[in-house]
Structure 1
Amino acid sequence: MSIALTERAPRSLLKMFSLIVGCSVVAGSAALDLHCNSDLQQGTCAGVGQDETSMDLSAAAEDTSLLQSWQTKKPLTLEAAAQQDEGPVRGGHGAEGDRKLDHDMSSFQTSAEAWFHGGGRVLPSSPAALSVLETFRVHGNSSTVTWSVFAAAAILVGAAVFWASSGSATALEGEDITADRWWLIVMSGVVQMVAGSVYAMGAWQDALRDALGTTMDGISLIGAATFAGSLLAMLGGYAFDKLGPKAAVTLGGTLCTLGYLLIGIAVVSADLLTQPVKMSLAATGAMLAGYSSVSLLDNVVCMACSLSFPDNRAAVVGYLKAVLATAAGLWALLWVHVFKAPHGPGLPAYIGFVASVALGATIFSLGGLRILPAGPSRQAFKEADNSRLGTLIFFLVTLSFYDVGVSFFYSRGILMPTSALGYVGIGLGLLPLTLLQARSEEQKPAEQLEPKTLLAPGPQSEGVTFATAILGLDFWLIWLMQFAVFGAGVATNQNLALILESAGSPSASGLGVALFALTSSLSRIAVGILSDKYSHVISRFNWLTLVSACAVAAQFLVSIMSFGAIMLGTLLMGLSFGAFFTVIVPVVNEMYGKKQFGIIMGAQLASQAAAAFLICLKMLPTIYKNATPPGQTSCHGESCYRMSFLLLTGINGVGLVAALWLQQRNKDSMPMDRLA
């Protein structure tokens, strides 16, 4: 018997979230502990969050025997610790001993929290604190065991919630849930914040490379695996069609958490595993995290909102896509300013944090996820709704400019890594939750509530099946456009550092990445709103043509390989990349209907896996290596990337032709009408 999580008290969800975060702290602490093992014998813990000068443990632990115990890795018992502190042990000396041990345990909790959140700067000085920390250490493989237990617990929790949430795909017909549409939008944004974490992997690629002891070729393989799962994106669409958004998002959050934990196990077990095993674990984890983020989180909430808001689907989807892009910048900011060594606790702690948030936040969001029924909840936005959407956009743009500003000043050396910058970013990211006070509005008569979109299917139409859609030319024209735009966007963004290095401007990579992120976010919002409001003037197919033309110009500008041209090309590519993925969801919805919307949309996403493999993993690295002089590892000069981006210009030229053809074919009718 399934349980509708919408009716569950938010307090229970918060308790679940707290439990997962607690598990993350344990995993992060164990990872830090393993990382410090080799350094503790020298009396220092280098590279895991101390200041530039290594912290002397003898200054933190006044008792010589305690320091000796840590250096020899022999656990100190609670009884011995309490005796060294001249206090009786519980059970032996009455209430006074109880109070003393309670004080020590409280000191440990405070010190451990300061150690974890403060980047390792504060070491616990209480004897009981040090002895409890020793319980996380079991000669070498304690971190591996802890992470494995965390992974098993995540699977069990995810499976339980998946079972509970399946079957609650839509609200009951006739139920008055007008206010719930803002829960749907805001909670979908929470899911997008989780999904955006996978796009921040490029920020910690170098740390992952060093932790795994691999080369950039190995990291490129892991990066390609992130999008390889999109070949099976149809399965995510099938889960959406059959089980609804709650179950699909639960499955996505569980797989995303498991993916990050597999990467974490590969990192903390680096000395215990062979290189092929480490790489296999990391690649599998990246594939699970990438697949779930794209196919079971991002795609699912966008489809749910597209179906729930027929008159404002592009505006809502555009906002959610902008959240996805902005979230990537926030996760990268957290890595650089909160977790990155030597000022932060390091990669294992970051991965543990992301894993805990992935599961906790997706479970927390389930209370608002559903496909809204026909009626008041689907009516077109009124003035109050537009004001709320404007507020959400303001919050998002503020966060986006904050991310870009911090990244720019950091790349220029004006800002130093500071954890407070990360905490401010988290605060800005939580602002949309303040809109959850929306109340049900006065309902209009039922006959006035039917949505009237130019391209939306009629009320009695269910759409076409995937088997029918895939036989039509329109399906493949969209697939080809997505292959070209996605391949060009990812190739530009992920290789900006090397592109600018080859062009003689290596210090501008931070500016380039920030520029791409900003223009991508803003274009998603703007095009979403404009394509809804002025659909009678400029159709969504006209927008696809404009986007494809913008991508052609962007790739040609980058191929010039001068600083100004690269920056302008990056700006145009960000606009094209963001706008395309805003428009494509409502276009597919309106072309093929809702019957098998999830499967059809998932099949379209398979083009991303093909683009990642052929363009990012094969074409660009091959041309770069061929242009690199013998005996050198890096390439400098125009030839490093010029041919790659000229080829991408041609590929996007083909995409532009496909867009023009698609526009002409759907001028008077939709595939759903022609193929029915």
Structure 2
Amino acid sequence: MKSEIEYESMETKEASASGCSSIFKPPKRGEDFSILQALFSIDMFLVFLGTFCGLGCSLTAVDNLGQIGESLGYPHQAVSTVVSLLSIWNYFGRVFAGFVSEIILLKYKIPRPLIMSLVFLLAAVGDLLIAFPWPGSVYLASLLLGFSFGAQQTLLFTIVSELFGLKYYATLFNCAQLSSPLGSFVLNVRIVGKLYDKEAWKQLAAKGMARSMVKELTCIGKQCYRLSFSILAATNTFGSIVILVLVLRTRKYYGGDIYKRFRDEIAENEKEMALKSAQEMQMVES
């Protein structure tokens, strides 16, 4: 009895050791990764860091767009229009990123992460239009930011499924998407919010007023978001560079036939179904 328990204990330890070692020996790209294999992979780290920058900046811009319009002196009607335009272009970004990246991938073998890297740069341009505005520039900024925000989300869905397989797709996608609220918290609350309040304090002090004399801090003028959105533009550019590293790592994979495995699985399933049907027919005839 004792020897059996010892044997089972040794077997459990070996299985545990084997499981731990397999974490750092992931399958080929496109095959089904386990959750831990994906989370400990360099590719997932690059996806996480890139989306931390890209989606974090986009969420920050979306959250502040209404207040940006007010700070720049746009009337309430114009601010509502800008916010609505952002939602519309968000939709077009989702659709465009899906079918255009697919066409480019199949026809020219251009890695899908490269499209994501370019989308980050597009968002950086939108950030700069807010940091250094001119009359009407917020309309163009809402177009670029809305389009890039929608495109990033679609590309993230697809890249995670293509690199890590579909077996644990739901879990892995949500792990990758966790970078979005984290990025938004750091960039929106810790950077943009504090810099906006700092500028509002300066304007309040210039008027000789105390904080207790106003209900909420309000900043008016181009300087309110200049530094903060310059930081967002730099963050988006850094995110683009991070995704470019992923492009270099995956260019060979995307240069091949990434859908071959799925076609083989479909063909295998069809063969099994045909064989099963033939066996059932033979049983009926006999």
Structure-1-length-normalised TM-score: 0.30
Tell me whether 1:665 sits opposite 2:218 in the alignment. no
* Aligned with residue 42 of structure 2, among 467, 473, 476: 473
- 2:56–2:181 CA contact under 8 A, matched in 1: no
Measure how far apart 1:594 and its partner are: 2.0
Q: Which residue in 1 is equivalent to 2:227? A: 643
Residue 101 of structure 2: aligned partner: 531
CA gap 1:561/1:549 in 2 versus in 1, 3 angstroms: same
SS of the counterpart of 2:178? helix
Quote the residue 2:130 is aligned against: 558
Read off the aligned partner of 2:87 and give its amino acid letter.
A
Report how far residue 605 of structure 1 moved.
1.5
| Runs (4+) off by over 6 Å | none
The one-letter amino acid of 1:665's match is R
**Mapping of residues 114-513 of structure 1, within 5 Å:** 457=30, 461=31, 463-507=32-76, 508-513=78-83
1:546-581 deviations in whole A, cap 9, x for unaligned?
211111111111111334322222211111111111
Counterparts of 2:61 and 2:113, CA distance in 1: 25
Is the 8 Å Cα contact of residues 477 and 659 (structure 1) preserved in structure 2? yes
Which of 582, 586, 592 lines up with 2:154 in the alignment? 582
Greater length-normalized contact order (CA 8 Å, ≥ 6 residues apart)? 2
Report whether the alignment pairs 1:514 with 2:84. yes
- Give, in whole Å, the separation in 2 of the partners of 1:635 and 1:579: 31
User: Structure 1 516/649 Cα, relative in aligned 2: closer, same or farther at 3 Å?
Assistant: same
Distance 2:29 2:176 in 1: 20
Q: For residues 70 and 161 of structure 2, what CA distance do their matches in structure 1 show?
A: 42
Q: Could you say what secondary structure the match of 2:252 adopts?
A: coil
- Equivalent residue of 1:491, what SS? helix
Take 1:535 and 1:456, find their aligned partners in 2: how far apart are those partners? Answer: 16
- The separation in 2 between residues aligned to 1:498 and 1:506, in whole angstroms, is 11
**Contact preservation (8 Å) 1:500, 1:563:** no
- Aligned-partner SS, 1:562: coil
State the superposition RMSD in angstroms. 2.1
Q: What residue in structure 1 maps to residue 113 of structure 2?
A: 541
1: distance between equivalents of 2:48 and 2:196? 27
Query: Which whole-Å deviations, capped at 9, do the CAs of 1:314-346 have from their partners, x for residues lacking one?
Result: xxxxxxxxxxxxxxxxxxxxxxxxxxxxxxxxx
Shift of 1:650: 1.0
- 1:405-427 deviation per Cα after TM superposition (whole angstroms, max 9, x unaligned): xxxxxxxxxxxxxxxxxxxxxxx
* Residue in 2 that maps onto 1:146: none
Partners of 1:596 and 1:562 lie apart in 2 by: 47
Identity of aligned residues (%): 26
Aligned to 1:349: none
Mapped to 1, the partners of 2:132 and 2:219 lie a distance apart of 16
CA deviations on 1:386-411 (whole Å, 9 max, x unpaired) are: xxxxxxxxxxxxxxxxxxxxxxxxxx
1:573 and 1:645 map into 2 onto residues whose CA distance is 12
Distance 1:572 1:603 in 2: 27
- Residues 481, 659 of structure 1: 8 Å contact kept: yes
Contact 2:29 / 2:253 at 8 angstroms: preserved in 1? no
Look up the SS of the partner of 2:67 in the other structure: helix
Q: Structure 2 length normalisation: TM-score?
A: 0.69
Shift in Å, 1:456 = 8.9
CA pair 494-506 structure 1, distance change in 2 beyond 3 A: farther
Separation of aligned partners in 2, 1:553 and 1:480: 20
Report the Cα offset of residue 642 of structure 1: 0.9
Residues 1:627 and 2:199 are matched in the alignment: yes
The C-alpha deviation readout for 1:224-275, integer Å capped at 9, x for no partner, is xxxxxxxxxxxxxxxxxxxxxxxxxxxxxxxxxxxxxxxxxxxxxxxxxxxx
8 Å Cα contact 1:548/1:659 also seen in 2: no
Residues 6-38 of structure 1 show CA distances to partners (whole Å, capped at 9, x for unaligned) of: xxxxxxxxxxxxxxxxxxxxxxxxxxxxxxxxx
The equivalent of 2:189 in structure 1 is: 617
Partner letter of residue 522 of structure 1? Answer: F
Cα contact 2:53–2:239 (8 A) shared by 1: yes
The one-letter code sitting in structure 2 at the alignment partner of 1:549 is: L
SS of structure 1 residue aligned to 2:233: helix
Query: In the alignment, residue 637 of structure 1 is paired with which amino acid?
Result: G
Q: CA deviation at 1:637?
A: 1.1
